[in-house]
Amino acid sequence: MREKEYFFEEGCFITELHNSLDDPQVSVARARVRPGETTRWHRLEGICERYLILEGIGQAEIGNASPQQVMPGETIHIPPGARQRITNTGTSDLIFLAVCTPRFVPEAYKDLEVD
């Protein structure tokens, strides 16, 4: 059974598609960022993440690399511990799959912004 979408502190909406103790090697979540919104600078300790862009357009910022435009069909690789954020630069929702190896656990999430 599919979990319901929820708002995550990072600044996007998440639907957990696969995240289980029985399969600790990988998790898959559907992420949704509203038009004009940017997620918070953050990193995942010890977790490699890939964004598979499904819908919309945006701009990904990973580590110290220059921002890169993202669109459907593209995959963004985020090494463990790399700072990251993504902006929806389009007029419709930016939707992507976040595939984490090993699986995402909340304690790995580190917010890098100061309020």
Answer yes or no: is 6 within a domain. no
Q: How far is CA 51 from CA 17, 70, 109, 115, in A?
A: 14, 10, 16, 26
Answer yes or no: is 33 within a domain. yes
Answer yes or no: is 10 within a domain. no
Q: Over the stretch 64-92, which tens digit does the pLDDT of each residue have?
A: 999 999 999 999 999 999 999 999 999 99
Domain count, the chain: 1
Bridge-based pairing of strands 58-62 and 27-33 is unpaired
Tally the C-alpha atoms within 13 A of residue 73's C-alpha that lie toward its C-beta.
0
Q: Residue 1 pLDDT more than 50?
A: no
Percent of the chain whose predicted confidence (pLDDT) is above 90? 96
Q: Over the stretch 11-36, which tens digit does the pLDDT of each residue have?
A: 999 999 999 999 999 999 999 999 99
Answer yes or no: is 18 within a domain. no
User: With contact defined as beta carbons under 8 Å apart, do 68 and 75 qualify?
Assistant: no
Domain hosting residue 80, numbered range: 26-110
Q: Residue 2 pLDDT more than 60?
A: no
Answer yes or no: is 100 within a domain. yes
Instruction: Give the CATH number, domain containing residue 66.
Output: 2.60.120.10
pTM: 0.93
Answer yes or no: is 78 within a domain. yes
Give the pLDDT of residue 114.
81
